[in-house]
A and B are shown apart, each in its own frame.
Chain A
Amino acid sequence: MRSKIIRAILGLGAAFASFFYHPCSSSAETRVAIGVTETMETYNPYGDSVSLLYGIWCQVMGCLGTYDFDKGEYEGMLAERWEVKDPNNWVFHLRRNIRFHDGSRLTAADVVHSFNRVRNDPQSKQKQNIAPIASAAALDDYTVRFTTKEPTAPLLEYLFDRFIITSKAIYDKYGPDVADRKYPIGAGPYRFKELIPGQRFVIAKNPAYPGMKEKKQAPDEIVFRVMREPEQRVTALLNGEIQIAQFIPPHMRDRVERSPNTTVKAVDSVEIMFLAMSPKFKPWDNKQLRQAVSYAIDRDAIIANLLRGEATRLDGPVGPGQYGYNPNLQPKYEYNPEKARQLVKQAGYPNGVDVDYYTPVGRYTLDKQISEAIVPMLHAVGIRAKLHTPEWATLWANVQAGKVPFYYMGRGSVVDPSVALSQYFETGGSPRIGYSNPKLDELLALERRTFDPAKRKKVLSEAMSIITEDAPAHFLWRHQLLYGIARNIEYRPTPSGRIFGEDIKVLR
């Protein structure tokens, strides 16, 4: 009885307070708005496969672990530790003090349920993340075993940051649609607050998550706002409408830096940009011609003038910070038009050669402009490239079907290059380039079976050396991702593009 009265009084007080204090203007709460480029289109945590959303769902629902780019190693989140029992069996031990936002405990059953949902949900766009896994089993309440189809050394690359854990109980009770739409209850460091597809995603701090209470500077609320146009993000940042703006184009950097309240932070992305030359087609079946392209392009000039220094040149498939990077990888292609001209002649084209060159438009930073700059460089060495700019859907369909001989392209989320290399260069990996080399196939298969990191890096390095030498692709650079950041915020962007609330500090 007494407690009822007290509750009633408290309730009245709260109502009274909220009457005078608009909750948004409450000074105790900190809110950070972030202008992002990816659209968020569905309530289903498994219905998208873009890095930003993986990051948001990972914070709201929870995931097993994450890659720490500073330390260069994997770190547990819901999983406390993990071990490789034998090459085909991985065991993950969950933390015992994790609770869903409704108070129930997170257990191994939820992990197994999530695995099944990724695999069976008709809307799932994340099946590729569990592709190497044959089955998942709960060994006890806090232990999960994943059995892989074949030994997969880079398994954490698949699972961490991407495999989202959701509640089995809620799913069983309401079914997928209602559960996603009405009960987005997770176990992560942030809670779901609001999602308007195509417009915004709002999350709020969850103090009950271990360690979150101590992170006082982490924002209480984060609003991810979809702002596709760079102009729109920069204007909003300068007006103080948002505190972090994703992907500032190079030419707008000055404007953000000149403003007293904002600054720009850059980070190398994990997207590798390259020119693909498919040996399935003439004249690209000729290795010398492919190498000629590699010598013909002045990457440094393009980076310095067009990209204003905001890209890091690649010598080989990966660069610093990516797994398996070897600074001494051979061969290296320096800009040498004379040598390129000779290679074109040696390749059997004394009078030069005509080729068709395809580029996406508006998909990657300054893609069309870069390709327009590449064309005259190729002309200068006798490779008369004709530039085509098909619409993305058309280009992508043709690339995937292996119908495009020569194109500019990027491959994102290359933290560990294993998957990307296999996809583009292993025999049967995909028709995109149509390159085939038994020696390379052997090395790539070996790399996946090698669990000792040092040995694995060596094998990877050997494989990448073969690719660079054979040049079915010429690796150009990684763009820098520029983030506009308000000065009252401390944040260092990550190469993968995910944004975690706990990495943001609000300065008061």
Chain B
Amino acid sequence: MMGGTWLSNLDPRAKLAVALAYTLVVALGQRPGPGIMALAASFALYILSRQGMGLLLRRAFSVNLFVAFLWLFLPWRLDWGGGPVWRYHPEGLALAELITYKVNAIFLMTLALLRTSRPTELIHGLAHFHLPAKLLALAMLFYRYVHVIMREYWRLRMALKVRCFKPGNNLHTYRTFAYLVGMLLVRSLDRAERIHQAMLCRGFTGTYWLLDHFRWHRRDTLFVLVSGAGLAALAVLGWRSASWS
């Protein structure tokens, strides 16, 4: 996850701020031209992050499933005037095109900027944006234990497999999955109890302390300034006209 590139050496706070501003500017953009420019910028930054094409293709596939759904339905509309008829709407096609640029630009930028920092660093970085301490503690604990519960889940699935469980369209399948989920919930609650006791042993009073701290370098200032200028240009170009041109 951590490449040795300059992107992974940037301060997570700088990357979070830029990613957030970028998402805002691109998501609200209304013109395809700046959309393509944003996509090109995201792609360039992704190349610089050196995370390989395999990751890009895997993620692009799942992200674009929703986009494919929109391509399927946006250009068509059911017309009830004189019986139901599907009518072709060219504006819908243009909208689908614009959305494709925006969705891909944003996910590529997220991949380039945020995947090059550790999730714990990012949650810590968010603490500097004055989010509620409880929310961040929730996020830290969620991230810490989601993998543990994931392993628990695969263990239960394995137990089903060795008992020759084959999912089908029947009540037995639904009951089995329901009990699997129920067991997962019971075990995670028991674990939460133990975690809480362990936290009490260590003097937990409601504040989740973050022990390591970031150092802001000149390269972070430079990165924020350059991206800020680029984003301002993109905003002016993309927001100037509100029509789907």
Pair from one complex = no
